[in-house]
Structure 1
């Protein structure tokens, strides 16, 4: 497992950013997203994740349970008897063909629902938010 996370990337859906229930767990979710890029899942243990976040492994365990409860991740455990030998953490958002839009989507200015971007001539273009986009199939 690479310790060089600073040069990587993580996928972050807007619904993650604006879900107040997981604001304390968002950094963990982003690290899981980053570590899932190669294999499609993250196999880091709680101690590794705790070290990256400067948290305790107990906090990581609780945060993973919370992310599972709200449907952001799922875990697959491989056991030898009663002992867990391997754990795969998968992001569920990447498997959803239609990510549900937020009920009250916000933009940076929190005033309108459309993002406005100025082109080189100074004209404003309005871009609708791309709901129902599947990141797994977006290869552009």
Structure 2
């Protein structure tokens, strides 16, 4: 790859990319690198081999990062094949974040003109979208910040074990939580117990708090202490 590809241009990583929990930090860094190259020609022509050499990683890692960005709709990949064959001649990456894409071929000061307005609009739109889903259900359920945080952490845990929650699933869980405890502290402890053990559901506390079990080093999901399956409570 020619040396001029390494020349420095401003990189732009918008808020919706920076705060996307579904893509890795390295994928976000690569996105910034791609915007810098797109700023020169309107598209990124660099190969995976170039990025692998630039960041001292494998081409497989670069390929995975690009797949993440394409999968989330941040990039578009256009592959040019040799006529009549499957041999790849070129691969072009283009940014799909339209407010920035429209400004790529303008002076850098113009790129950042009203930048705060663009980013704030994006954040506000995403916030409104979230408020119609899980966040709205949480906000309607309780105004206690500690309980809200515990519910969100439970949702994150479910996502980490590949069991993401739908709106209806959350509503059913909160209804069950009301039946298991009438106090904020009790609900927080029940949620934390499941988070600590990576349980898909919520269950009554064995004693007064999961914390005492954690501190004593006992295994909460063992048959000798607290086994939801053994008691027929597991979903």
Higher-RCO chain (CA-CA 8 Å, sequence separation at least 6) = 1
Pairing partner for 1:93 from 97, 109, 113: 97
Moved more, 89-98 or 8-17: 89-98
Instruction: Indicate conservation of the 8 Å contact 2:11/2:36, yes or no.
Output: yes
Give 5+ residue unaligned stretches, structure 1: 105-140
Structure whose residues are more often strand by fraction: 1
Instruction: Indicate conservation of the 8 Å contact 1:28/1:53, yes or no.
Output: no
Aligned length: 103
Q: Which residue of 2 aligns with 1:9?
A: 10
Would the alpha carbon gap of residues 4 and 45 (structure 1) be closer, same or farther in structure 2, given more than 3 Å must change?
A: closer
In 2, Cα distance between equivalents of 1:67 and 1:17: 12
Secondary structure of 1:76's partner?
strand
Give 5+ residue unaligned stretches, structure 2: 103-117, 131-235
Secondary structure of 1:55's partner?
coil
Could you tell me how far 1:39 is from its partner in structure 2? Answer: 1.1
In 2, Cα distance between equivalents of 1:73 and 1:3: 19
Q: Which residue of 2 aligns with 1:21?
A: 22
For normalisation by structure 1, the TM-score amounts to 0.65
Largest Rg, 1 or 2: 2
Could you tell me how far 1:88 is from its partner in structure 2? Answer: 0.6
Secondary structure of 2:61's partner?
helix
Structure whose residues are more often helix by fraction: 2
Matches for 1:51-130 after TM superposition, within 5 Å = 51-80=53-82, 81-94=85-98, 100-101=122-123, 102-103=126-127
Over aligned residue pairs, what C-alpha RMSD do you find? 2.2
Q: Which residue of 2 aligns with 1:30?
A: 32
Could you tell me how far 1:24 is from its partner in structure 2? Answer: 3.2
